Amino acid sequence: MPRPAMLNATMNYIGSKHSLLDDIAALLDEQQVPAEGRALDLFAGTAAVAQLLKRRGHVTYANDWQYYSYVTGVAFIEFNSFPKFETLLTDGLWGGEIRAAAGAGPIRSYSIEGRGSLPAVQPCGPVLHYLNRLPGRRGTFYASYCQGGEAGRMYFARENGLRIQAIRDQVEDWGSAELISPREKAWLVACLLESADRVANTASVYGAYLKHVKKAAQKPLALVALKPIPSAHPAERHRVFCQDGLELLGQFDPGELHLVYVDPPYNHRQYASNYHLLETIARWDLGQFEPRGVTGLRKARELCSNYCLGSAVESEMRRLLQRVNSHYLLLSYNNEGLLPPETLLALLEEFCTEVRVAQIHYRRFRADTDHAKRNYKADHTREFLVLGRPKTRPGCV
């Protein structure tokens, strides 16, 4: 039975597993994978599955080499409750000014647990209200990417572009002055990314902007509070990494990780180019590169993934599966991926025992509607969920 994609989803992220979370949880439960030990979401993207693993009771690690994903992971996974901003709010200059901005209506909150309102008692509320009320300002981001900017690109409507510039500049200044910790800074940046994405003037991804400002992009940006997932192990540290997945795996001893979840890109669409704008807002490093071409891409070949290259994907996946030495491996892949299902399953049989395969039908991700140059073959597509036990785990003979 085909399932609706992107149920209660946030960002329209290519390959997001928001709509498959119930299936993933069901497979882990059915196969009696103990909800214990450390679980690593190696290609975390929106951190949806990392959130699920943390809710399930694992000490959770998340990784993705895109920095926008890293800050999102920090918000949901490293934090166990909303940040407190103690230094900022007790600062003689800033404390009073920020508290004066409080009480300006509810702030919406979001995690895979659902949408809601930020409780009024949360100290982060006034900080978000303060940022929400900042007057817009001109700057390199506005000039390079927003309506009315010198570059002529239209990823954001004029007012929203000016406000993103002001909010992100302010967060950067607080971070440089050590008024907020690096983790608090990451949380604020993640909240801005989520909120900016909701008013982006694109069909879906950031490979192109629209030539007119669409209705949703005209709505004023309102900061959303990303809701950290509570921890079943508050004494243990949940951690987020930002590096190549294969390299990171090499840093764990056999059996140190209980479960590794592998969800690499499955087609030629590079995340670095489709989400370049989120990466730039996250890194705020516009002084360090010259936006390229009509769409204003970042540096050429930055974070070009081998999983998106037909010529390299099989050897990359082989190297990766060889290196997973946890007690359990969970992998998802699409039936229309660059790696044919037979090749993938043969690799899994080579490196794992007790391989179980579940197939889920769901609605295809669409970056835009069909047109003369793009005519999708079918409305539905199949996702494989594979659970196995790596042969390199401790105790496997």
Asked if 13 is part of the footprint of ligand SAM (rule: CB under 6 A), the reply reads yes
Of the listed pieces 15-23, 32-40, 51-59, 190-198, which binds ligand SAM according to CB under 6 A?
15-23
DSSP 20: G
Please enumerate in sequence order all residues whose Cβ is within 8 A of that of 236, keeping only pairs 6 or more positions apart, or say none.
59
Residues numbered 266-285 forming contacts with ligand SAM, rule: CB under 6 A? 271
The token pair that represents 190 in the structure block: 């993640």
One DSSP character per residue, 199-262 reads T--SSSSTT---SS--HHHHSPP---EE-PPPPS-TTSPPEEE-S-HHHHHTTS-TTT-SEEEE
Say whether 139 sits in a helix, a strand or coil: coil
Asked if 145 is part of the footprint of ligand SAM (rule: CB under 6 A), the reply reads no
* Per-residue contact string for residues 295-334; x = within reach of ligand SAM by CB under 6 A: ----------x-x---------------------------
Parallel, antiparallel or unpaired: strands 59-63 and 114-117: unpaired
Q: Which is nearer to ligand SAM, 184 or 263 (CB)?
A: 263
Q: Which is nearer to ligand SAM, 13 or 351 (CB)?
A: 13
Q: Which is nearer to ligand SAM, 265 or 388 (CB)?
A: 265
Among 5, 10, 12, 16, binds ligand SAM (CB under 6 A): 16
Asked if 65 is part of the footprint of ligand SAM (rule: CB under 6 A), the reply reads yes
Residues numbered 216-245 forming contacts with ligand SAM, rule: CB under 6 A? 244-245
Please enumerate in sequence order all residues whose Cβ is within 8 A of that of 114, keeping only pairs 6 or more positions apart, or say none.
8
CB of 261 to ligand SAM, least distance (A): 8
Asked if 139 is part of the footprint of ligand SAM (rule: CB under 6 A), the reply reads no
Binding site residues, ligand SAM, CB under 6 A: 13, 15-17, 43-46, 48-49, 64-66, 69, 244-245, 263-265, 271, 305, 307
